[in-house]
Structure 1
Amino acid sequence: MPFRLEFEVKTESGAAIALAEDKTDESLFAEIRIGGDWNRKVLVRPCYYLTCPHILAEHIEAGLVDANEYRPFWIDYKGGVDKVGKGGQEEAFLEWDAGAYHQRVATQVHVACSFSTVAANPHTFKFILKPLSIPFRLDFTVKTDKDAALALAESTTRESIFAEMNIGGGSGNARTVMRSCYYLECPDVVSLHKEEGLVNANEYRPFWIDYKGGVVRVGKGGQEEAFLEWDAGAHHQRVATQVRIGIASWASTNGDWVFYKFCE
């Protein structure tokens, strides 16, 4: 089940990617940290870092990631071997035989990419992942006290946002809302769901978002029914053909996010 995944990341240090056989920490068979050790090296561990603090492979190179620009990379998995390289270069800078170490080769892989957002007022979206072609469904988890903000946009500018969601907002993590653009320009709510405790500061909570035929839907992980839905295409009188994902934290709380990309 060979695959190759191309991605971009903008961060000061420590961009973490996990390869797993399902969406649990226990199923991780490779955790890769690009720009680790204060952006001085790339590290590979054979499972989740709290369980496997020992490093099995490393590449020493300062400045691989940058807080002010997106840097391109790729990762592939073939015959049990993980490789990581820079975008535009075919030669890998890091390689490790996970199959030999674990004495098995995964037949399907979930790729998890983790990101952090810092509280800001007004909040500023960090655009992650490469452009998504429609229709798409994206699974993710988030750990935050409240106000996990997501944006769908046609580019990486605030002006191109055509749907903004705030999960666990309001007073006391009690409601989730959707707006038709960045909230300072579009304070009116176009879709509302009232439910307390949707997000939590001490554990990752799973969600999904999809975009099909101009309709944006948000739901809980493990549930097919959406709790938030809105026809952005009808409102804006157009349907985006490619979508960028933005994440942010509001004024009072930081957030930790994990996004999953299924490869087969």
Structure 2
Amino acid sequence: MSNLMDINTEDKLEYQFFPVSSGSVQFKVRTPNDAHIALTMGPQESDPMIEVFIGGWGNTKSVIRRNRTKPEKVEVETPDILNGGEFRGFWVRWDGGIISAGRDGEAIPFISWSDPEPFPIAFVGVCTGWGATGTWKIEDGAEFNTPDSLEYKFGPVANGTLRFDFRGPHNCHVCLTQAPAEVDPIYEIMLGGWENTQSVIRYCKQKPEKVTVPTPGLVNPNEFKRFLIQWRCGRLMVRDGETGATLMEWVDPNPFNITHFGIRTGWGARGQWRIHHFNSGAGGQSLQPSAPVAAPLYAAPPGYPGVAPVGGSGPGTWVDAAGGAIPPGAVVGGQDCNGEPIYVARAQHEGAVIPGKLVASHGVTFVPWGGLEHGKPEYQVLVGGPNNWVPTSGSNVPPGAFRGGESEDGEPLFVGRVEHEGSLTTGKVQQSHGVCYISFAGQELGFPEYQILMP
């Protein structure tokens, strides 16, 4: 998409479509009511389709609709959100099935909905109607600010991870909750508090803190600092977003399901933020894999003559599926920390076909690549294949190992699994790296000791 594109829409509810390559679109629109945005797979109105209506019903409310059917998926009161005499700025973003819309300069959406059957969005359409014509300026995204006010602004989260950049003098506060409100149970992470001298994890606004660590100079009013918050099976971790180093960690003996985050600054501090969950097209630097980037090439362990072939994958069939669907006869490769089965699956990413993990309740297959966990709503599941797992290590890939895909450079990728944080998780074995990579809590993690799938 170009940096700036002007579009005029008539009063006839007919979408004008343009392609998008990232997970967001930001725009300004001048219209008295009914600014409609469509998210589709192609440049036309066809299912599946998400529609975001801003300022509908006489500029009184906004809704999200799927496949042009009622009832609305979500509806909020937004009186006078549009104006026929001036441009108003908005953004619409999609990430892991979460559809969100917000005002320009605000990262927290005024409306959002999680699609249980997400699809790849490649086009955006805009139109006006119901007595309204519109002028649109479609443009790129921007940063946003928080005032000196101890009041959280909330947004939805996905995949157990929140990655963000913060610039401010002190008191960067983030909370994790079950609802878009300050309700118990609630985790609060306070970074650079007490005049930028220490950081804490607090539970349900109670003292003493669960974790307190000295962090002098952690945040900076003159430059953005990156942070990563992860939660999995009760384990809450706060990391340096550049190095991956753990700043704080706490295990909740009674964890709850986190659906929203909140952000704020206070105690004399204002902040600037970039929430990567709402800005997936920002092109920020990724965390590097936590495993070695190289290892000695194949050295056959006892009982394995020769070297591992790079040819056929053996028995089994890769079956297309989407949205968390599990084909009959799918191979169970492990289990999540909550006991839910993990199926052997793979998906395309950045020119590669990557073995990963599929948990039905997540609605996507996760694949590890470039230091991060990537959710793919369309994928392939191994059906009727082997379930013979052999322990090995490093680059010692046994001859005849089950081939599950290939890297963007054409290197064979095998199917492996490891035990980690109470789960048995499937992933990819890349022989030249000497590790098995898995997707976990938003990251790509590498393990030199693993099990590999054999025919």
For normalisation by structure 2, the TM-score amounts to 0.34
Q: Compared with structure 1, are the counterparts of its residues 231 and 202 closer, same or farther at alpha carbon in structure 2 (3 Å cutoff)?
A: same
Distance 2:229 2:265 in 1: 18
Secondary structure at the aligned position of 1:223 is classed as coil
Distance 1:252 1:153 in 2: 25
Q: Pick the structure with more helix per residue.
A: 1
Shift of 1:42: 3.8
Map 1:245-264; keep pairs closer than 5 Å: 245-261=261-277, 262=280
Q: Compared with structure 1, are the counterparts of its residues 85 and 147 closer, same or farther at alpha carbon in structure 2 (3 Å cutoff)?
A: farther
Is 1:219 the equivalent of 2:248?
A: no
The answer as to whether partners of 1:113 and 1:259 remain within 8 angstroms in 2 is no
Distance 2:198 2:141 in 1: 27
Shift of 1:251: 2.1
Q: What CA deviation, in whole Å up to 9, does each residue of 1:86-115 have, x standing for no partner?
A: 9xxxxxx9686x9xxxxxxxxxxxx97743
Listed as ranges, the gaps of 5+ residues in structure 2 are 1-19, 26-53, 55-80, 92-101, 114-119, 128-134, 282-348, 350-455
For normalisation by structure 1, the TM-score amounts to 0.56
Secondary structure at the aligned position of 1:156 is classed as coil
Distance 1:197 1:239 in 2: 32
Distance 2:22 2:224 in 1: 27
Larger Rg computed on CA atoms: 2
The answer as to whether partners of 1:36 and 1:42 remain within 8 angstroms in 2 is no
Given residue 117 of structure 1, which amino acid in structure 2 is its aligned partner? T
Map 1:41-190; keep pairs closer than 5 Å: 41-42=88-89, 65=103, 70-72=110-112, 78=122, 83=124, 114-120=143-149, 123-128=150-155, 130-132=156-158, 134=159, 136-170=160-194, 172-182=195-205, 186-190=206-210
Distance 2:172 2:86 in 1: 27
Distance 1:163 1:218 in 2: 12
CA RMSD of the aligned region, Å? 4.2
Structure with larger RCO (C-alpha < 8 A, sep 6+): 1
Quick one: percent identity of the two aligned structures?
A: 18
Distance 2:126 2:244 in 1: 36
Distance 1:162 1:150 in 2: 10
Secondary structure at the aligned position of 1:187 is classed as strand
Q: Compared with structure 1, are the counterparts of its residues 85 and 224 closer, same or farther at alpha carbon in structure 2 (3 Å cutoff)?
A: farther
Distance 1:238 1:70 in 2: 28
Listed as ranges, the gaps of 5+ residues in structure 1 are 7-33, 45-63, 87-92, 99-110
Distance 1:196 1:181 in 2: 25
Distance 1:256 1:36 in 2: 26
The number of equivalent residue pairs is 183
